[in-house]
Amino acid sequence: MIQTKFSGNSIINHAKCKATRLTTKPLVLKSVFLSALVIAFSGCSSLLESQSKSKTTAVAASSSEKVVETKKAAPVKTSKQVEVETNISSAMLYQLMVAELAQQRGDIETAVQYYLEIATITKDPKAAERATQLAASSNNLPTALKAAELWVTAAPDDIEGRRMYAGILVKAGRPNEAVPHYEKMLEIGGKDTSVVFGVIVSQLARLPDNSIALSVMEQVTQNRQDDPNALFSYAHLAMRQAQFDLAITTLDQGLAIKPNWPIAVTMRANILAMKGDKEDALKYLKNTLKGELKNNIEINMTYGRMLTEFRKYEAALQQYEKLMKLVPENTDVIYTGGVLALQLEKYKKSKKYLKKVLSRGERVYDANYYLGQIAEAENDIAQAINYYATVRRGRLYFSAQVRVVALIADKKEFTRARNHLHTIRTANEKQKLQLSLLDGDLYREEGRYADAKIFYTKILDESPEETSIRYARALVAEKLNEIGLVESDLQMILKVEPGNAQVLNALGYTLADRTDRYEEALKYIQQALKIEPNDAAVMDSMGWVQYHLGNYKEAILHLERANEIGKDPEIAAHLGEVLWVSGKKSAALKIWEGSLKENPDNEILLNVMKRFGL
């Protein structure tokens, strides 16, 4: 039996501000006012904007900002105090202007050079900060390290400076030198260490060697064994290094200090799953949900997701129905429940949930796609086409439109099907190829084999390497009785994909069914069966070639197994024929008639029965 579907082998924050006159006379300023001077000089930029955009460092950045904000303008100094102040000359103002303009032009190297020189002379932390940010953004690590060192020296309690310096050290391959900066960050950050540890984990996770990351974290946490955040972070990196037992042991230490900690419970379950202990992971979550955390959204979500991932769909549906009560406003929960109900063939419930999703105007295309699947399963083809056709965008657009074409073709409306096919948008070459195959399939389904052959040949003239198109042409060539073309196309594919069981089977079956080269056919089918021992089509081919070789018992053995797995009318036709020829006519009739009930118009079944006078 030939399979018809081929499976062959992708810094400044500009603001509106008033123009400011500048004097060329030397100015006597405290360095803390240098950034304000830059603002005045540039006219529309600020050196104060340095917060990290990363969510994980939001609190750290906020703390840094507070440090900066606490610096107040000092009273005007007397002449005797001038020596402790920085004399900013017109030359220095010029350097600031050059740095600003260079940055605005995108000349980061020049901007960094001038900001770094300013920071070196004035010890101003904001200039050092700007030099650090620009150097780091351009991956100029040596300069970034110099600037960051100036920054933390000028502002030792600036948590953002410490974060930047530590991150650059890690990126430069000097993670151990980041430890004192991490410790200082934890000291500055206060009692709640969760955000700072989040930053540390984020930085260390970028190291290519997870063992080094874990070693550095061990240094940071060794004196913080009573801090659950420290233990959690260490466990996180242990998990990344696949040291699952160590990660679980450390998490258990943290949970002993901070019981019923949702994020730690979730991580522990995930680690168990990563270890391969799926049942233990599910049991752990189930038991946890019997206690104080029974209504915790995060853990309930994790449990539902894990049940789904492990294909325990019935339990997963029950879990998501629980979540629907806990978070009735969460449309994604309702949507997932609808898809799970569809998977379990609970169509009425699935429709209820998916239509509720539609009523909220969310995930409209996804919901319509799965409602189309339900309608198709219930044999409401017109409704299925309507649902699929509504999927005009999104990740399921292409699949939905292909189903529209297939369903219209099933109604023998081939012109309409082809017209719709030609309206489908493609996102990549793979989808273009799929549409070409589908276009050819429409010719084949319509019985226009010669047109299908011309269509495929035109594609192959331009893209001879497309094995799926070549396979499709072989199928129509067989219908046109062009066995030579069938054989040459299949042989060409095997030169590229010698282990393609589908092609081996097709070639073997063709030789067995359309020629008398049975021994040669047997070799190809044996190869295919070795690769795909449980494939019904290959088993059918083996039974068919054994029949032609006169090995009826072996033929019946293979065909009966194929019929149990495949339930295909062509297999039933072959099995019935071998049984009939073997003298088991009653058994043959039972096979044929049983298959005819499911496939009353199947030509292969009707022809074989006609051949034997039935």
Model pLDDT for residues 295-350, shown as the tens digit of each residue:
999 999 999 999 999 999 999 999 999 999 999 999 999 999 999 999 999 999 99
Our separate counts of H helices and E strands in the chain read: 33, 2
pLDDT tens, residue by residue, 565-609: 988 999 999 999 999 999 999 999 999 999 999 999 899 999 999
Give the model's confidence band at 92: pLDDT under 50 very low, under 70 low, under 90 confident, else very high: confident
Residue with tokens 């006169």, as numbered in its chain: 550
In contact, 610 and 576? CB cutoff 8 Å: no
Q: Is 524 a residue whose pLDDT tops 50?
A: yes
For residue 150, what are its two tokens? 């100036």
d(CA 286, CA 1): 48
- What pLDDT sits at residue 494? 97
Phi, psi (deg, nearest 5) at residue 371: -65, -35
Q: Is 82 a residue whose pLDDT tops 60?
A: no
Domain pair 346-425 / 529-614, same fold? yes
Q: For domain 529-614, give its CATH number from 3.20.20.60, 1.25.40.10, 1.10.10.10, 3.30.1600.10.
A: 1.25.40.10
Give the model's confidence band at 77: pLDDT under 50 very low, under 70 low, under 90 confident, else very high: very low
Distance of CA 123 to the CA centre of its chain: 47
CB < 8 Å & 24+ apart, contacts of 243-249? 243/214, 244/271, 244/272, 244/274, 244/275, 247/271, 248/272
Least confident of 99-113, 356-370, 377-391, 568-582: 99-113
pLDDT tens, residue by residue, 353-374: 999 999 999 999 999 999 999 9
DSSP-derived 3-state class of residue 506: helix
Percent with pLDDT over 90 in the chain: 79
Beta strands (DSSP E) in 40-100 are 86-88
Alpha carbon dihedral 194, 200, 203, 208, in 10-degree steps, equals -120
Q: What is the mean pLDDT of residues 33-61?
A: 34
In contact, 506 and 474? CB cutoff 8 Å: yes
Q: Is 498 a residue whose pLDDT tops 50?
A: yes
- What pLDDT sits at residue 93? 81
Element (H, E) at 28: strand 27-29
Q: Is 48 a residue whose pLDDT tops 60?
A: no
Least confident of 36-40, 164-168, 230-234, 304-308: 36-40
pTM > 0.75: yes or no:
no
For residue 75, what are its two tokens? 């009273």
Q: What is the mean pLDDT of residues 534-556?
A: 97
Class of the 346-425 domain? mainly alpha
- What pLDDT sits at residue 5? 53
Q: Is 244 a residue whose pLDDT tops 80?
A: yes
Q: Is 69 a residue whose pLDDT tops 70?
A: no
In contact, 471 and 503? CB cutoff 8 Å: yes
In contact, 34 and 127? CB cutoff 8 Å: yes
Q: Is 27 a residue whose pLDDT tops 50?
A: no
Report the candidate in 293, 288, 248, 249 with the shortest Cα–Cα distance to residue 271: 248
Residue with tokens 């079956």, as numbered in its chain: 509
- CA atoms within 13 Å, Cβ hemisphere of 576: 27
| Topology of the domain comprising 20-172 | 1.25.40
Residue with tokens 């400011």, as numbered in its chain: 20
Q: Is 31 a residue whose pLDDT tops 90?
A: no
Mean pLDDT (the chain) is 86
- What pLDDT sits at residue 558? 97
d(CA 43, CA 32): 19
Torsion 536-541-542-547 (CA) sign? positive
Q: What is the mean pLDDT of residues 269-289?
A: 97
In contact, 525 and 538? CB cutoff 8 Å: yes
Neighbour tally for 528: CB within 10 Å: 27
DSSP state letter for 276: T
CA angle 602-490-563, nearest 5°? 35
In contact, 316 and 286? CB cutoff 8 Å: no
For residue 601, what are its two tokens? 């118009």
DSSP state letter for 463: -
Least confident of 22-26, 29-33, 278-282: 22-26
- What pLDDT sits at residue 40? 33
**Angle 364-377/347-359 helices, nearest 10 degrees?**
150
Ranges of H-type helices in 190-277 = 194-204, 210-221, 228-240, 244-257, 262-275
pLDDT tens, residue by residue, 426-445: 999 999 999 999 999 999 99
pLDDT tens, residue by residue, 1-26: 766 654 443 222 322 232 222 222 22
Percent with pLDDT over 70 in the chain: 85
- What pLDDT sits at residue 91? 67
Q: For residue 297, what are the contacts with CB-CB under 8 A and spacing of at least 6?
A: 323, 326, 327
- What pLDDT sits at residue 2? 66
d(CA 446, CA 448): 5
Q: Is 47 a residue whose pLDDT tops 80?
A: no
Q: In the chain, what are the domain boundaries?
A: 20-172, 346-425, 529-614
